[in-house]
Each structure stands twice: as structure tokens, then as C-alpha cells.
Amino acid sequence: MLILIPLDSNKRHEAVITTLDQTKSWALIELDEGEIKNISFHKRREEISEWIDCVIVENDQEYVWPFMEENITVLVAPVQKSIDEIVEAFLFKELHDLNV
């Protein structure tokens, strides 16, 4: 499973989620059996050619229609900030689903 998160930097343990218009780096996270297998950072979303299963945004006011049109699940991380916090909340189904 591939998850995409907009971040304020490309530093694995320092980056925090940011709004789509403030994104400096996109983290593409590969999850397998509940574990992070790989994280790659991309300056632009257009650089990513893999099928993305889910994108996680900072709030429900984001312009997410382009993702929905691509049938990508959109989740909101209302309080989680770091990559690890967001992935943990994803695994425990604590994120809000905007596709409902």
C-alpha cells in the first residue's frame, strides 16, 4: 500500500504535515503488513508514477478533488503531525475519511 503525505521538508524525523499549498516535499510511504517498508521524498507530486492508495491531508478544507477524481482515498490527520504519528493513526483507523 502506498500513502502520500504533503510535508514541510524532506527530513524523515523532522518533517510535519502541511497544507497542500504550502507543501515543500511529498512523502511516499510504502506500508506492508502494518510496517513502513520504504519512504521516498519527492519535490513534486507529478514525479510519482506509482499508484497511490491514499493521500493524507492536514484538514478537511483542502482542495482534494484531483485526488478523488483519481479514485485515491483522502484521509484527514486532524491532530497528528509527524510521519510516524500519521502512519500509526492510519493503522488504527483514527483518521477522518473525506470520501464518505
The strand ranges marked E within the chain are: 2-7, 25-32, 35-42, 54-57, 73-76, 96-97
Interval 32-86: pLDDT, tens: 999 999 999 999 999 999 999 999 999 999 999 999 999 999 999 999 999 999 9
Question: Positive or negative, the Cα torsion across 85, 88, 93, 94?
Answer: negative
Overall fold of domain 2-97: Nucleotidyltransferase; domain 5 (3.30.420)
Rounded-to-integer distance, Cα 73 and Cα 1, Å? 12
Question: Cell for 11?
Answer: 527530513
Rounded-to-integer distance, Cα 5 and Cα 76, Å? 10
Whole-structure pTM value: 0.95
Other C-beta atoms within 10 Å of 32: how many?
9
How is the chain split into domains, by residue range? 2-97
